[in-house]
Structure 1
Amino acid sequence: MTSTMDDPFKSISVLYRKSHIWLNVACADLGLTAAQAVVILIVCDFGTLTQDEVTKRLGLDKSVVAKTLAKLEESGFLERSTNARDKRTYDIRPTERALGVYPLVREHVGECFARMTSAMGEEDRAEFRRLLTLAAETTIEQGD
Structure 2
Amino acid sequence: MTEDQETIEPSLDALYRRPGFLLRRAHQISVALFLEEAAGLGITTTQYGTMVVLRARGALDQVGIATLVGIDRSTTALVVSKLEEAGYIERHDDAVDKRRKVITLTKAGHAMLDRVAEPAQRARERSLSAFSPKDAAKFLGLLERFVAVFNEQTRAPIRTHSGRKGSKRGASKITLP
Bin for the TM-score computed over the shorter chain: 0.7 to 0.9
Asked if 1:99 is matched to 2:110, the reply is yes
Distance 1:44 1:133 in 2: 22
Alignment match, 1:26: 37
Alignment match, 2:174: none
Query: TM-score normalised to the size of structure 1?
Result: 0.80
Asked if 1:81 is matched to 2:88, the reply is no
Correspondent of 1:11 among 4, 22, 38:
22
Specify which structure has the bigger relative contact order, considering alpha-carbon pairs within 8 angstroms and separated by 6 or more residues. 1
Report how far residue 69 of structure 1 moved: 0.6
Alignment match, 1:67: 78
Going from structure 1 to structure 2, the CA distance change for 1:132 and 1:49 (only over 3 Å counts) comes to farther
Unaligned runs of 5+ in 2: 1-9, 152-157, 160-164, 167-177
Alignment match, 2:69: 58
Report how far residue 52 of structure 1 moved: 0.4
Provide the alpha-carbon RMSD of the alignment: 2.5
Distance 2:136 2:43 in 1: 27
Compare CA radii of gyration and give the structure with the larger one: 2
Correspondent of 2:53 among 32, 38, 42:
42
| Percent of aligned pairs with the same amino acid | 27
- String of CA shifts for 1:107-136, please: whole Å, max 9, x gaps: 222222222221212122223333434544
Distance 1:30 1:48 in 2: 24
Report how far residue 23 of structure 1 moved: 1.9
Distance 2:64 2:148 in 1: 13
Report how far residue 54 of structure 1 moved: 0.9
Report how far residue 82 of structure 1 moved: 2.3
Report how far residue 76 of structure 1 moved: 0.9
Distance 1:69 1:134 in 2: 29
Bigger share in helix: 1
Alignment match, 2:127: 116
